[in-house]
């Protein structure tokens, strides 16, 4: 039987808030807290995902998790953001339904991270290919660019998004991404000129100053000192925990991936630099403007060109800056957009519930119920007129005041509304000055991008158009919701503030969403998984139901005597009205599983006992058979021994009879010759059966049966050994003969002298270990060596620099009849070439290490850089070949081999004593070098 996991299995608290019992605000918050304490940060409200920010990394976003949630039913596994992403992606791919995922929540709730998880999941499960991977990489790399120019550190969030983002991704019929369009909404522009205490400006300003190269900053005429720029908050800079330098490199790379040309990147950086410098400009009505910070002196003309001849232009520019610093219009439209999103969330949720009931149950009573519920649902959206007069909008128990002309109304607003304070608990005032165009100020800018971005439509017009487009988009797509909640204001893990979470749950309308789901039927599930989960509760459906799944569910519920008013049958789903009914089924299932477990244990124990009995019975039969065989063998041996005794007595009697018959006819000599003949025949036959192996190193030889054969026995042994040696030598080729000569030379040099030698006996001497003649990487290196390469291997080179001993990268060691060469392993470039005439001796230790020192003759040309201290696992072969080259050459002396645990090595001008000791290196089983002082290098070798 296939066992499937479920949302209800091993559940901490309640995984779906629709099933919480009893339903109240306290039980709602308590359930969130219980799951949060157990690192269960995701909870469902039907198909809506509630996401709690854990403020720590959790191991729930691995590749294994992606595969676990891939192509699975939404309620099949425990709540996860991957389940929603998979549901949306499969609906898009398989049913051709446009999808939208709406992620909402306040600053620090985890909206940005949630969007990254959704995108990374879709990127992981969609198709592969060069073009597809390129599109996926561009979509993923758009995040660092948007965050650099739109995110900032606030008191609530180190990476707070100060704008809304709508990403539209287009997929082909296979479900592979073709491209995407990203729209941003409601950027908090006022943060550029003023930040609250403890907060930062947008990331890009700090990233540019911290991560750009000195050459780039010089071209932009900027300084890394944050204190020289009025637009950067010193308080926030001192508490910054972000790695701005690394982030800048990431942003530059991401801009290239998403398609920015190099000149466009440079233009953007120049514009950012210009904005930084604008903060250091002071405006005065009498003499134009001047630059207040010395760092900007003579720099402004490189970024923005001003006309100093128009007084009104400076006045307008100053007014715009006042507008950016003091107005609350941005906050007003942000709140307005949030209310619109809340409205569309409620509307689409009700519509989705209503459509499902119409599609599944066709119950007009439920449709009317939801229609009336929708009319009574609280709605707080505000619409503001465009007239330049004061507007008052009453909402619930507070009032919103919108001031569109601050010069005429703002100073009288307090007196105007003082009478309303008696009746209303809250007055929200938004100051919205009229738009003053500043495009003429930058019309003559040297940068085209400045002209493009500084002459947009008004903020109100942009807001109205963009929000209208957003709402239109959302209404045409199948919605999916992620509601992000921050558990505390301290940005700390393991802290759950009930009041804060309760406040967010209220304004996100989560309780209302639960009530909408529970207004009709609290739980619904397709017939197939429902029958699969509860089929063991009925004998007719267990273990397999042969008919349609719906009929199986009907039989199951009828057998359990569930009241008809507690459920309803849809076209494809079973609808359960009360959560208590679901928990009743779960309790019955738990009890049934316990009974089934007991039954399985009983059957298993019976099977185990029967198997054990049959094994004992089989063993008894085998033992009896072996005993009977042993008894018959013993009886046979007794009979055979008795027969041999009788035969020997008969043969003895016949021999004695023949002896007496032939004794007088020279029978003694004949008997003697016959006996000797039989003895020799028996000796040679026995020798033939006990001959040793054909290996020349086999010293065994059969024992002689008689003392008088001793001389002949030894001669035969010597003759046999010479013969098998000749047979062994006849098999040798010239190449194999040379190899064994090298092995013999190695034995003479290192046997019983070097602990590394025994492990090298069984290893053949190949010579070329890097295939220098075949590998095209080393073709140039091979051509530089004039003589035939006798040995080519990768060794480690030990150098001394700045008074310290350090291990460099591995090098290639080449050995010819005239010289040895050290070359770079990656490039094949020759680092050193030393004639063997300049080599005086070789020093090695007695231990099992691979260190060896090539000591050069004093005064030789090669000795200028000092001796060579190398390490190789093939030390025996390298030094043997060096020694044989010297022995075979007539124009040079034989190279001395010094085997000692302490020797001197010349490093340029210094002599260092290399001392080998037995110990336990830090890496456990390797050889470790440690500098004790400037004159001593201690090598720790593992004890044998």
- Residues making up the annotated binding site for ATP are 105-112
Binding site as annotated, residues: 105-112
Cis-peptide, bond into residue 168, ω within 30° of zero: no
Interatomic CA distance for residues 105 and 909, integer angstroms = 69
As a whole number of Å, the end-to-end CA separation of the chain is 56
Q: Taking Cα atoms as reference points, which of 485, 454, 438 lies closest to residue 310?
A: 438
* 712-714-715 Cα angle (round to 5): 65
Residue in the block written with tokens 């609350």: 328
Residue in the block written with tokens 């854990």: 54
For the chain, how are helix, strand and coil distributed in percent, rounded to 5? 50, 15, 35
Interatomic CA distance for residues 462 and 110, integer angstroms = 27
Q: Taking Cα atoms as reference points, which of 512, 522, 354 lies closest to residue 16?
A: 522
Interatomic CA distance for residues 846 and 376, integer angstroms = 93
Decide the pairing of beta strands 839-844 and 567-569. unpaired
Interatomic CA distance for residues 438 and 313, integer angstroms = 8
Residues recorded for the chain: 944
Interatomic CA distance for residues 442 and 300, integer angstroms = 12
Residues whose CB is less than 8 angstroms from the CB of residue 553 and which lie 6 or more positions away in sequence, other chains included = 527, 530, 531, 569, 574
Decide the pairing of beta strands 791-801 and 868-871. antiparallel
DSSP code at position 777: G
Residue 924, classed as helix, strand or coil, is: coil
Phi and psi at residue 17, in whole multiples of 5°?
-60, -20
Residue in the block written with tokens 């009700």: 350
Residues whose CB is less than 8 angstroms from the CB of residue 242 and which lie 6 or more positions away in sequence, other chains included = 153, 158, 159, 203, 206
Q: Taking Cα atoms as reference points, which of 221, 158, 224, 163 lies closest to residue 192?
A: 163
DSSP secondary structure letters along 245-286: HHHHHHHHHHHHHHT--HHHHHHHHHHHHHHHHHTTEEEETT
Tokens at residue 533, please? 């989960």
Interatomic CA distance for residues 389 and 405, integer angstroms = 6
- State the DSSP H helix or E strand holding residue 401, giving kind and residue range, or none if neither: strand 398-403
DSSP secondary structure letters along 45-98: ETTEEEEE--SS--S-SSHHHHHHHTT--TTTSS--HHHHHHHHHHHHHHH---
Contact assessment for residue 95 and residue 171, using Cβ atoms and an 8 Å cutoff: no
Interatomic CA distance for residues 931 and 473, integer angstroms = 70
- Long-range contacts of residues 849-858, Cβ cutoff 8 Å, at least 24 apart: 849/756, 849/916, 849/927, 849/939, 849/941, 850/756, 850/874, 850/875, 850/927, 851/798, 851/875, 851/914, 851/916, 851/927, 851/939, 852/878, 852/879, 853/903, 853/905, 853/914, 854/820, 855/905, 855/906, 856/906
Decide the pairing of beta strands 288-291 and 281-284. antiparallel
């Amino acid at each position: 039987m296939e066992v499937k996991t479920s949302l209800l299995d091993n559940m901490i608290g309640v995984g779906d808030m629709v099933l919480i019992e009893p339903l109240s605000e306290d039980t709602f918050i308590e359930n969130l807290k219980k799951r949060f304490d157990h690192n269960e940060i995701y909870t469902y409200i039907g198909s809506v995902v509630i996401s709690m920010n854990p403020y720590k990394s959790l191991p729930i976003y691995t590749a294994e998790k992606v595969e676990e949630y891939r192509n699975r039913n939404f309620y099949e596994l425990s709540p996860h953001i991957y389940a929603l992403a998979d549901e949306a992606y499969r609906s898009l791919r398989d049913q051709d339904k446009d999808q939208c995922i709406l992620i909402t929540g306040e600053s620090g709730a985890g909206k940005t991270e949630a969007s990254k998880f959704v995108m990374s999941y879709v990127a992981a499960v969609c198709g592969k290919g060069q073009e597809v991977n390129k599109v996926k990489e561009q979509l993923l790399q758009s995040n660092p660019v948007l965050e650099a120019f739109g995110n900032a550190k606030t008191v609530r969030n180190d990476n707070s998004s100060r704008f809304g983002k709508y990403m539209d991704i287009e997929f082909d019929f296979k479900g592979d991404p073709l491209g995407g369009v990203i729209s941003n909404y409601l950027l908090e522009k006022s943060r550029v000129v003023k930040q609250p205490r403890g907060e930062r400006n947008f990331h890009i300003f700090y990233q540019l100053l911290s991560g750009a190269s000195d050459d780039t900053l010089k071209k932009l005429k900027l300084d890394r000192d944050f204190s020289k720029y009025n637009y950067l908050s010193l308080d926030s800079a001192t508490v910054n925990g972000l790695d701005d330098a690394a982030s800048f490199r990431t942003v530059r790379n991401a801009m290239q991936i998403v398609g920015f040309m190099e000149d466009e990147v440079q233009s953007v950086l120049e514009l950012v630099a210009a904005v930084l410098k604008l903060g250091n400009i002071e405006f005065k009505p009498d003499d134009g403007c001047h630059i207040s910070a010395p760092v900007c002196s003579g720099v402004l003309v490189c970024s923005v060109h001003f006309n100093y001849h128009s007084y009104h232009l400076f006045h307008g520019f100053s007014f715009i800056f006042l507008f950016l610093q003091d107005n609350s219009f941005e906050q007003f439209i942000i709140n307005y957009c949030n209310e619109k999103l809340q409205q569309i969330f409620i509307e689409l949720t009700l519509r989705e519930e209503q459509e499902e009931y119409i599609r599944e149950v066709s119950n007009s009573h439920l449709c009317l119920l939801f229609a009336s519920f929708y009319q009574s649902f609280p709605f707080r959206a505000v619409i503001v007129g465009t007239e330049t007069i004061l507007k008052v909008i009453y909402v619930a128990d507070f009032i919103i005041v919108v001031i569109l002309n601050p010069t005429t109304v703002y100073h009288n607003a307090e007196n105007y509304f003082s009478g309303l304070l008696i009746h209303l608990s809250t007055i929200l005032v938004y100051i919205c000055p009229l738009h003053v165009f500043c495009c003429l100020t930058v019309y003559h800018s040297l940068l085209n991008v400045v002209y493009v971005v500084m002459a947009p439509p008004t903020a109100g017009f942009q807001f109205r158009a963009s929000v209208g487009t957003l709402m239109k988009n959302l209404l045409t797509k199948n919605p999916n919701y992620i509601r992000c909640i921050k558990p505390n204001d301290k940005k700390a893990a393991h802290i759950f503030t009930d009041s804060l979470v309760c406040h967010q749950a209220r304004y996100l309308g989560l309780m209302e969403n639960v009530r909408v789901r529970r207004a009709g039927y609290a739980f619904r599930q397709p017939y197939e998984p429902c029958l699969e989960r509860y089929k063991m509760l009925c004998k007719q459906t267990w273990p397999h139901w042969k008919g349609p799944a719906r009929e199986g569910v009907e039989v199951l519920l009828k057998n359990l005597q569930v009241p008809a008013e507690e459920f309803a049958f849809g076209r494809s789903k079973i609808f359960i009205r009360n959560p208590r009914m679901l928990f009743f089924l779960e309790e019955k299932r738990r009890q049934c599983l316990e009974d089934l477990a007991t039954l399985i244990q009983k059957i298993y124990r019976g099977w185990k006992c029967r198997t054990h009995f049959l094994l004992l019975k089989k063993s008894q039969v085998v033992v009896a058979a072996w005993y009977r065989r042993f008894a018959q063998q013993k009886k046979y041996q007794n009979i055979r021994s008795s027969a041999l005794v009788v035969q020997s007595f008969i043969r003895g009697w016949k021999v004695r009879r023949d002896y007496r018959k032939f004794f007088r006819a020279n029978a003694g000599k004949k008997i003697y010759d016959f006996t000797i003949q039989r003895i020799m025949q028996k000796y040679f036959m026995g020798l033939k059966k006990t001959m040793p192996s054909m290996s020349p190193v086999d010293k065994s030889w059969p024992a002689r049966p008689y003392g008088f054969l001793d001389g002949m026995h030894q001669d035969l042994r010597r003759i046999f050994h010479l013969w098998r040696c000749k047979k062994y030598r006849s098999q040798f080729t010239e190449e194999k003969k040379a190899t064994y000569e090298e092995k013999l030379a190695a034995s003479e040099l290192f046997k019983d002298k070097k602990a590394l030698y025994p492990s090298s006996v069984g290893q053949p001497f190949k010579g070329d270990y890097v295939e220098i003649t075949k590998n095209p990487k080393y073709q140039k290196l091979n051509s530089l060596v004039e003589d035939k390469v006798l040995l080519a291997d990768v060794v480690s080179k030990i150098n001394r620099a700045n008074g310290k001993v350090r291990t460099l990268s591995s090098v290639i060691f080449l050995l010819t009849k005239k010289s040895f060469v050290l070359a770079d392993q990656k490039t094949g470039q020759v680092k050193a070439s030393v004639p063997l005439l300049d080599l005086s001796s070789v020093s090695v230790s007695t231990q099992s290490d691979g260190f060896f020192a090539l000591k050069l003759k004093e005064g030789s040309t090669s000795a200028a850089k000092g001796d060579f201290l190398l390490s190789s696992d093939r030390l025996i072969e390298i030094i043997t070949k060096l020694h044989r080259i010297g022995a075979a050459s007539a124009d040079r002396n034989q190279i001395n081999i010094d085997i000692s645990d302490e020797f001197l090595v010349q490093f340029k001008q210094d002599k260092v004593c290399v001392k080998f000791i037995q110990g336990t290196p830090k890496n456990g089983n390797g050889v470790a070098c440690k500098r004790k002082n400037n004159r001593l290098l201690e090598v720790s070798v593992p004890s044998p």
